[in-house]
Amino acid sequence: MKEDNNKKNNAVLSQTELGRMRRLSLIKIGTMLVFLAIILVIGALGWFTMSREVEGEGMQMTSSDLPFEIATKGEIIRNQDVISSKKTEYKIGTPSGEYYKDDSLLLRFDPVDDPTTPNVNEELNPPDIAPGGSGSLNLYIVPKNNDSFNVKITLNVIAFAEFEKKNGNATVYKKDENNQNILDAAGNPIPDTVLVEITNTSDFADAATNAGNTTVAADAANYVKAASYLKGHILFFGEQNQNNNSAYYYADPLYYSASNGQPVQQARTKIITIEASNKDQMIPIPIYWMWTNTLGQIALPDNVSEKRNGLPVLSDSNAVGKNALKEYLKSNRAEIFANNSNNTSGYIDIVTAHVDSATNFDTVAFKDLSDGYNQADYEIGTKISYFLIEVSVGLDEQ
Partner 1 sequence: MKNIKQHLQQFREMSLSRKVQLVSAGVLTIGLMTAIPVYAWFTNQKKAAEMFKVEYPNSLYINAAYREDQKYFEFDAININDYAKDPLTGSKIIKSGEPVFVEKYSYVFSVSGSSTNEFVLQMAHTNNNKFTYKIYDAKQFDDVDDAKSEANNDTSKIIKYTPNPCGHTENPIQVDGDTYVDAPPENLPPTALYYVKGNAIDGTYRNPKIVTPVNAGNDGEGNNGEGNEEETTVKLAEKDTNESFYFNTYGDNLKVDDRAVPLYWQGNVSVTTDANKNFCKYFILEVSWDEDEQDHQLASKETDMVYFSVKRIS
381 binds partner 1 (CB under 8 A): yes
Give φ, ψ of 72 to 5 degrees.
-140, 170
32 binds partner 1 (CB under 8 A): yes
**To the nearest whole angstrom, how small is the minimum distance from the Cβ of residue 329 to partner 1?**
17
**To the nearest whole angstrom, how small is the minimum distance from the Cβ of residue 161 to partner 1?**
10
Distance set, CA 317 to CA 57, 321, 355 (Å): 51, 9, 16
**To the nearest whole angstrom, how small is the minimum distance from the Cβ of residue 357 to partner 1?**
22
Please list every residue from 210 through 239 that binds partner 1, using CB under 8 A.
Answer: 230
**To the nearest whole angstrom, how small is the minimum distance from the Cβ of residue 178 to partner 1?**
31
The span of 63-71, 167-175, 178-186, 266-274 binding partner 1 (CB under 8 A) equals: 63-71
The span of 33-41, 201-209, 235-243, 355-363 binding partner 1 (CB under 8 A) equals: 33-41
Alpha-carbon gap, residue 325 to 300, rounded angstroms: 11
Please list every residue from 157 through 216 that binds partner 1, using CB under 8 A.
Answer: none
b/e for 25-46, b at 16 or more Cβ within 10 A?
eeeeeeeeeeeeeeeeeeeeee
Residue 384: which of 128, 228, 161 has the closest Cα? 161
Please list every residue from 116 through 145 that binds partner 1, using CB under 8 A.
Answer: 116-118, 120, 127-133, 135, 137, 139
Selected binder of partner 1 within 43, 58, 284, 346 (CB under 8 A)? 43
Alpha-carbon gap, residue 387 to 160, rounded angstroms: 6
DSSP 172: P
**To the nearest whole angstrom, how small is the minimum distance from the Cβ of residue 381 to partner 1?**
4
Selected binder of partner 1 within 257, 286, 310, 331 (CB under 8 A)? 310
39 binds partner 1 (CB under 8 A): yes
Q: Which is nearer to partner 1, 107 or 264 (CB)?
A: 107
Please say whether the beta carbons of 213 and 164 come within 8 A.
Answer: yes
Distance set, CA 247 to CA 9, 101, 250, 295 (Å): 100, 37, 10, 16
Q: Which is nearer to partner 1, 88 or 332 (CB)?
A: 88
Please list every residue from 337 through 376 that binds partner 1, using CB under 8 A.
Answer: 370, 374
Classify residue 122 by burial, with Cβ atoms within 10 Å: 0-12, 13-18, 19+. Answer: middle
Give φ, ψ of 253 to 5 degrees.
-70, 140
**To the nearest whole angstrom, how small is the minimum distance from the Cβ of residue 320 to partner 1?**
27
Alpha-carbon gap, residue 102 to 91, rounded angstroms: 7
Please list every residue from 65 through 84 that binds partner 1, using CB under 8 A.
Answer: 65-66, 68-70, 72, 78-79, 82-83
Q: Which is nearer to partner 1, 2 or 20 (CB)?
A: 20
